[in-house]
Amino acid sequence: MQFISVVLRSILIITLFSSIVSGVSGSRKPDLVEQTVEVIKDCMIRSPTPWPDEWKQQYLDTIRKAILIHQDTPQYNLKLEILRKGFESYWGSFKKTPERSLFEVYQARIRWYVDHLMGTTFPSEDERKKLRDQYKDLWDHAAKSLLEQFPFLEPNTVQAAKADDLTKCYSNIDAPLIPVYMWSISEEQVGQIMQSWDKLRYARVDLWRRLSVGSTMQLKNSDTTSHNAKRDYELTKESLSQLLGLVWMVVPQRPDYYLNAMRNWNNALKRRYQSMQKARSYQQHMEKECSRQLLQIEHISFLLTALLEQPVCLDGSASGRTRDKIPSKQREKPMKGDGSYEINNITLEK
């Protein structure tokens, strides 16, 4: 009997201990999730957006939901740390506007990024090193082709812009929130990216012309050396952003909810463009109509002015002609006597 009581007591202790341990482990994950959400929230407060509070809460809820879905995935805590580290640079990389359709794109995008991060096995150090080497090869090729295409560029400025861009890429590879920085790509894909880059040379000519004109207007009276350095740096940075766009072509297939958000945004842009075109057409029509009406008013006012001035002119000319037809001697005679006698005499003489 005493043995049975000891066994029951042991079972009870083990059960209580296991429940406490499971409760503690279960409470740790939500705590870590809330800590991650709080870090993201603080980042959003430090760099505010024109979004209303309701949108901000929806954005945070999207992140929280995507995190909680993948609680049982391997390397869960490590992935949350990557999300905390990588979110700040991502948050500052895109333009925030108060447009609802664009907000929904950003909402779908962060859901895609968190889903991809939490649901994918984290790459090993060797895989990350391979990806860094591939980025270095691509960026070296781009910088070399820029110097070949534009020999007037300052090589040191081009290399400095390339180094700054690569440093940002390396930090994203270390904390790969964005899918394009997660896995290495094949050598065949690297070759395709380089070929596509070479085909964009005419687009870079247009980019150089735009930057040259804009910089000339802004730095008209400044030092020529600093002006050229700034232009070369901006040209390199914007050209490398084109290269990153080519790398994006080899990322995993985008989810349907993100594609739907993109389509809605494109439709909103089309509607806005059509509305602007309609408003511009209406404005041009009104300008033509007003111009025609103004011309008609000018013609009518000219005619009215001519009609009002015509009797005065006629009266003045008639009286002048009457005086001219009567000789000066005859005009003086009525002042001496009866004018009817003179008129009768003139009639008789005729």
Give the residue among 200, 209, 185, 194 at the shortest CA–CA distance from 239.
200
| Residue at 348: amino acid letter | L
Angle at 182 between CA 176 and CA 188, to 5 degrees: 145
Residue 207's CB: how many other CB atoms inside 10 A?
16
Residue 212 has pLDDT above 90, yes or no: no
Residues in the chain: 350
What Å distances lie between residue 53 and 50, 65, 234, CA to CA?
A: 9, 18, 35
Identify which has the larger pLDDT, 349 or 75: 75
**Cα(272)–Cα(276) distance, integer angstroms:** 6
pTM (predicted TM-score): 0.67
Both structure tokens of 72: 């049982």
CB distance 118 to 67 below 8 Å: yes
**Cα(242)–Cα(245) distance, integer angstroms:** 5
CB half-sphere exposure, 109, CA atoms < 13 A: 16
Residue 322 has pLDDT above 50, yes or no: no
- Give residue-wise pLDDT tens across range 14-60: 454 444 444 444 444 558 899 999 999 999 999 989 999 999 999 99
**Cα(194)–Cα(197) distance, integer angstroms:** 5
Give the residue among 293, 319, 152, 116 at the shortest CA–CA distance from 232.
152
| pLDDT (0 to 100) of residue 313 | 53
**Cα(178)–Cα(180) distance, integer angstroms:** 6
- Give residue-wise pLDDT tens across range 74-95: 999 999 999 999 999 899 888 8
Which residues, including other chains, have CB under 8 Å from residue 335's CB and lie 6 or more apart?
none
**Cα(227)–Cα(232) distance, integer angstroms:** 9
Identify which has the larger pLDDT, 308 or 1: 308
Alpha helices, DSSP H only, in the chain? Answer: 2-46, 53-69, 76-91, 100-119, 125-149, 155-174, 187-199, 201-218, 224-247, 256-325, 328-332, 339-349
| Residue at 334: amino acid letter | P
CB half-sphere exposure, 222, CA atoms < 13 A: 12
- Model confidence band, residue 224 (pLDDT cutoffs 50, 70, 90): low
Among 133-142, 221-230, 284-293, 340-349, which range has the highest average pLDDT? 133-142
Identify which has the larger pLDDT, 51 or 320: 51
Map out the domains of the chain as residue ranges. Answer: 17-122, 123-278
CB distance 153 to 100 below 8 Å: no
Residue 161 has pLDDT above 70, yes or no: yes
Residue 184 DSSP one-character state: -
Residue 183 has pLDDT above 90, yes or no: no
- Model confidence band, residue 215 (pLDDT cutoffs 50, 70, 90): low
Torsion, CA 172, CA 176, CA 178, CA 179, rounded to 10: 130
The sign one gets for the Cα dihedral 34, 36, 39, 41 is negative
Residue 250's CB: how many other CB atoms inside 10 A?
15
- Model confidence band, residue 311 (pLDDT cutoffs 50, 70, 90): low
| pLDDT (0 to 100) of residue 136 | 96
CB distance 122 to 75 below 8 Å: yes
**Averaged confidence pLDDT in the chain:** 80
